[in-house]
Amino acid sequence: MSEGEFRALRDMIREEFGIFYDDGKQFLLQSRLAVRLAKAGLESFEAYCGLLRNPRTRESEIRELTSVLTNNETYFFRERAQLRALVGSVLEEILKERPARPLRIWSAACSSGEEPYSLAITLMESGRLRNGDFEIYASDISDRVLALAQRGSYQSLSFRATEPGMLQRYFEPIGNEQKLKGDVKRHVRFFRLNLLDEQAMAAVQAMDAIFCRNVLIYFDRPTQKRVVESFAKRLTQRGFLFLGHAESLFHVTDLYEPILQPDTIVYRRRVKEGRK
Ligand SMILES: C[S@@+](CC[C@H](N)C(=O)[O-])C[C@H]1O[C@@H](n2cnc3c(N)ncnc32)[C@H](O)[C@@H]1O
């Protein structure tokens, strides 16, 4: 990969994904893109730049590229303290407003579905909401993981933090996999969305809470700011934002206030004067 190709590719990647490869990371980027070059049957990075610039191939290649730039690591009941916070004081605050509609929660980088399904199970288990009283929206940039999520059948690694009782109640074993039962699935709606696509983001409205965990770490700070400030517009006036435990809004934005919960932090949208 020449210096010029490196710069051209990293600029495209920064614009499209918010992931920045500095000068010291040329080799890392090169080795990641080599996987895509091989799959696309191309012999040079110059040809690969062409693939990304060509309007006919750009969109589908961008989708494929995501899987080599980020990882899809996830599992059921990840960061349980946050799930406890959700069905504890967060739910209490949301219900205080008595919304005359089902509760709306968005899992904004849902990978293969373990996160949104965990949210649905946790809300069902809480006993505080009737069936039909909540909706889980779940999106990811990658079609591949969304297809897995819709299939709803998982191997043992996905259950590394799942209690056996939960497994029995909500899944049925089929071969060496565990298939999710239908009553959990019907609470979750999947769709494809790139968090950097402002137009697509604008279609999402009035969420009571957003889970965006373990994806901001891939973005540079300006992109993190752009995404979480867009989330503020997708939330209800006092909605909640949950980030991964290695992610924080410190030095990123002041649109949210951090709220300390047992073993975790939850962010809540601030009401600013004159702002709805
Ligand atoms: C490490 S997984 C996190 C899954 C889940 N939130 C969790 O914490 O277990 C990161 C996910 O972010 C998705 N992702 C990366 N960049 C994205 C973007 N720009 N828009 C939407 N999703 C993105 C990836 O496809 C991947 O599935």
Ligand 1 site, residue 82, Cβ cutoff 6 A: no
Query: Of these residues, 32, 63, 128, 144, which one is catalytic?
Result: 32
Question: What does CATH list as the number for 80-269?
Answer: 3.40.50.150
Whether pTM > 0.95 for this model: the answer is: no
Looking at every residue in the chain, the average pLDDT score rounds to: 93
Quick one: DSSP state of residue 211? E
Ligand 1 site, residue 19, Cβ cutoff 6 A: no
The CA 217 to ligand 1 mean position distance, Å, reads 10
Q: How far from chain centre, in Å, is Cα 275?
A: 27
CATH 3.40.50.150 domain residues, the chain: 80-269
Determine the Cα–Cα distance for residues 48 and 138; give it in Å rounded to an integer: 31
Determine the Cα–Cα distance for residues 254 and 87; give it in Å rounded to an integer: 25
Label residue 23 exposed, middle or buried (CB < 10 Å: 0-12, 13-18, 19+).
exposed
Scan for tokens 């298939």, then name that residue.
179
pLDDT digits (tens, 9 = 90+) for 165-219: 999 999 999 999 999 998 899 999 999 999 999 999 999 999 999 999 999 998 8
273 confidence band (pLDDT: 50, 70, 90): low
Residue 147, pLDDT > 90, answer yes
Of 70, 107, 198, best ligand 1 pocket probe by most atoms within 8 Å of the beta carbon: 70
Ligand 1 site, residue 79, Cβ cutoff 6 A: no
- Is CATH 1.10.155 the classification given to domain 3-69? yes
CATH 1.10.155 domain residues, the chain: 3-69
Determine the Cα–Cα distance for residues 117 and 180; give it in Å rounded to an integer: 9
Q: Are 10 and 24 in contact (CB under 8 A)?
A: no
Determine the Cα–Cα distance for residues 2 and 128; give it in Å rounded to an integer: 59
Ligand 1 site, residue 158, Cβ cutoff 6 A: no
pLDDT digits (tens, 9 = 90+) for 226-269: 999 999 999 999 999 999 999 999 999 999 999 999 999 999 99
Ligand 1 site, residue 122, Cβ cutoff 6 A: no
Q: Which amino acid is at 233?
A: K
The CA 109 to ligand 1 mean position distance, Å, reads 4
Q: In what order do the strands lie in the sheet with 103-107?
A: 188-192, 134-140, 103-107, 207-212, 235-243, 264-269, 256-261
Determine the Cα–Cα distance for residues 52 and 15; give it in Å rounded to an integer: 12
Of 68, 140, 216, best ligand 1 pocket probe by most atoms within 8 Å of the beta carbon: 140
